[in-house]
Amino acid sequence: MAAVGRTKVVVALPLTRALLDQMADYDLAMVPTGGSDETVLAAALADADGVLVSSNVPVGRGVIVGAPGLRVISTMSVGVDHIDLDAAREHGVTVTITPVLSDAVADLTIALMTMLSRRIPDGMRAVADGGWKVPLGGDLAAKTLLLVGFGRIGQAVATRALAAGMRVRYVDSRVGLPAMAGVTGGGTLDDELGDADFVSLHVDLNARTRNLMSRRQFTSMKRTAFFVNTSRGGVVDQAALTWALTEGAISGAGLDVLQDEPPPPDEPLLKAPNVIIVPHIGSATEETRNAMAQCAVDNLRKVLGGQKTPFEVTAS
């Protein structure tokens, strides 16, 4: 139980001693939790005012309802599909995010595109097998990149793609997005897919975007096109992507995210041709993770102190 008059904060993610010291005026409850079991988190939150979580810590309706004093859920992530936003809004709980990972994710996106286009995995395998066969790849310059989503990360990718000499287009249903010289948008996904040499996803996972890329969308792409996903695995129908790669409907895919992480050993996508899969490393740089943790702590302190933060999740 929190001391009378003290604010209790549950910490359900690893933090440095320096960040913990910034919260010395709170009663801290350290909860090593994750995965799908919410029991430990729910018990700790029963009398808590705030909680720090990451994307692998689910905060469902039952947890929120069972924490009547909860005022803020500060997540060290941009995605919020692990949090029941409807329940949070109904109970007056502020949800905050840490959108300071744009550069790291954009760098990875361009890296995956380059690896696919230049056939770098083929070259690495040739050398590892004792050979010296040079795979003939393609340039990024003069190719068309379609960004599905033009938020912070999509814009950061666009900046890098333009510097590489690419033609950049985007689709995004939101209004009021910033104009960027050399980037065009406004069409629909179905309209734009057929002209793209690269398709890269940068959208949240929600009811509207789940399985946004299905067999019909992959069939609409060029057979020479490459697909990249650094957003959330659930935005893609994974069986459809496996089919597209196996049947040659597209030329390759670079993935930082999957529907299940880690995937089961018998996941067919793992054996699909010309697919690069990395273990959700989009924000995995020391600088970015430190900045995200600091942002999460700052968000929590501001909300508990009655201040506004620009990183609150608003109703969609």
pLDDT in tens, 87-119: 999 999 999 999 999 999 999 999 999 999 999
Q: So what's the pLDDT on residue 4?
A: 53
Mean pLDDT of 29-58: 87
Mean pLDDT, rounded, for 142-151: 98
Question: 206: which DSSP letter?
Answer: S
Domains in the chain: boundaries: 8-99+287-304, 102-277
Of the candidates 125, 216, 247, 261, the residue annotated as catalytic is 261
Of the residues 71, 119, 202, 232, which is catalytic? 232
Instruction: Give the pLDDT score at 37.
Output: 66
pLDDT at 186: 82
Clarify whether 90 is annotated catalytic.
no
Q: What is the pLDDT of residues 135-144, one digit of tens each?
A: 999 999 999 9
Render pLDDT for 218-254 as a digit per residue (tens, 0 to 9): 999 999 999 999 999 999 999 999 999 999 999 999 9
Per DSSP, helices labelled H in 164-285 are 189-192, 215-220, 238-246
What's the CATH number for 102-277? Answer: 3.40.50.720
Residue 159, pLDDT above cutoff 90: yes
Q: CATH classification of 8-99+287-304 is 3.40.50.10420, yes or no? A: no
Alpha helix ranges (H) inside the chain? 17-22, 39-45, 61-65, 85-90, 102-117, 120-128, 152-163, 189-192, 215-220, 238-246, 286-304
280 included as an active-site residue: yes
Residue 84 DSSP one-character state? -
8-99+287-304 and 102-277 have identical folds: yes
Name the DSSP class of 280: S
Instruction: Give the whole-angstrom CA distance, residue 237 versus residue 256.
Output: 15
**Average pLDDT, integer, range 274-303:** 97
pLDDT per position as a tens digit, 174-207 = 988 999 999 999 889 999 999 999 999 999 999 9
pLDDT, mean over the chain? 95
Q: CA geometry: angle at 208 spanning 204 and 210, to 5°?
A: 70
- The reply to whether 71 belongs to the active site is no
From 71, 119, 167, 280, active-site residue: 280
